[in-house]
């Protein structure tokens, strides 16, 4: 028996088994580290990140694909709370119309107000319908800022720490929509600014806000706005303005 154990013990090229086990563990750990580094390089990342106190604001560009699951999402609507176009319709479809049925039971709501209902399974926990338009489907920057700010506070009270804030532009473009890409970007500018003003106005109530450009063509506009709010002087002034 002793000879058998001794043979096994020294069977691997003259080295004890424990040496090979230790070597395997070492190389295995090193391999996992390399995989982790490689994954960090190739995985999707925000194209811009701004810190505002305890709040992290990220800018993501993914065409019709969410950056990642979130605990809440905000979409723009009119006072009738109908989710008929753009990202609002996408969210309505994801929730199999459940959020739309809930919202219609409390409609109408005035501009600046918010309704928070159920979310989409495995995608987001809550849906916040932000009323950013009047009955004629005409938005204003003030309503966008107020509604986004209120929506962030509302979903935070529901326990959300990470929120998806998709671009509102497609939902707010008025007919006819046969306009050039440059005209679309120009339409996006006041919308993007108002949305981010709403984020800052809500303060550090949320942990992470992922601004999601879900239709390519507007990313340069949001990148410019992120640069603007990243300016230390701007952040200082915004803190004093909302204090």
CATH number of the domain that residue 155 is part of: 3.40.220.10
Please indicate, yes or no, whether residues 161 and 202 belong to a single structural domain of this protein: yes
Dist CA 152 CA 228 (whole Å): 21
CA distance 22 to 7: 19
- d(Cα 83, Cα 46) in Å, to the nearest integer? 27
Co-location of 153 and 221 in the same domain? yes
Percent of the chain past pLDDT 90, that is, above it, reads 63
H helices of the chain, where? 2-9, 17-42, 86-94, 98-104, 141-157, 169-172, 181-201, 219-230, 232-242
Burial class (CB within 10 angstroms; exposed 0-12, middle 13-18, buried 19+) of 145:
buried
Q: How many whole angstroms separate alpha carbon 149 and alpha carbon 177?
A: 28
Containing domain of residue 9, as a range? 2-40
Say whether pLDDT at 40 is over 80: no
Beta bridge partners of 165: 211
Residue in the structure block whose two tokens are 């509302």: 154
Q: What is the number of structural domains in the chain? A: 2
How would you list the strands of the sheet with 70-77, edge to edge?
Answer: 48-52, 55-61, 208-213, 162-166, 70-77, 124-131, 114-120
Which has more confidence, 181 or 46?
A: 46
Banded model confidence at residue 33, pLDDT cuts 50, 70, 90: very low
Note the pTM of the prediction, 2 decimals.
0.79
The predicted-structure confidence for 109-146, as pLDDT tens digits, reads as follows 999 999 999 998 878 999 999 999 999 999 999 999 99
Q: Both 189 and 163 in a single domain?
A: yes
Please check whether residues 85 and 133 belong to one and the same domain: yes
> Does one domain contain both 32 and 65?
no
Block residue for tokens 């440059």? 182
């Amino acid at each position: 028996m002793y000879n058998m154990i001794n043979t096994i013990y020294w069977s691997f090229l003259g080295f004890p088994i424990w040496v090979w086990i230790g070597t395997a563990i070492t190389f295995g750990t090193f391999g996992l580290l390399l995989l982790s580094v490689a994954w960090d390089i190739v995985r999707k990342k925000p194209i811009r990140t701004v810190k505002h106190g305890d709040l992290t604001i990220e800018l993501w560009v993914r065409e019709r694909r969410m950056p990642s699951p979130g605990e809440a999402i905000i979409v723009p609507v009119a006072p009738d709370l109908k989710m008929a176009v753009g990202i609002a319709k996408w969210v309505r479809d994801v929730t199999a119309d459940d959020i739309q049925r809930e919202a219609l039971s409390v409609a109408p709501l005035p501009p600046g107000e918010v309704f928070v209902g159920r979310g989409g399974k495995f995608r987001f926990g809550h849906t916040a319908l932000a009323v950013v338009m009047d009955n004629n489907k005409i938005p204003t920057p003030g309503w966008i800022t107020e509604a986004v700010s209120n929506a962030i506070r509302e979903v935070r009270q529901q326990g959300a720490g990470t929120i998806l804030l998709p671009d509102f532009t497609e939902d707010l473009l008025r007919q006819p929509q046969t306009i050039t890409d440059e005209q679309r970007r120009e339409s996006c500018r006041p919308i993007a600014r108002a949305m981010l003003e709403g984020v800052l106005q809500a303060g550090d109530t949320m942990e992470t806000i992922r601004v999601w450009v879900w239709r390519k063509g507007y990313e340069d506009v949001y990148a410019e706005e992120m640069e603007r709010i990243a300016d230390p002087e701007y952040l200082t002034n915004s803190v004093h303005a909302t204090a």
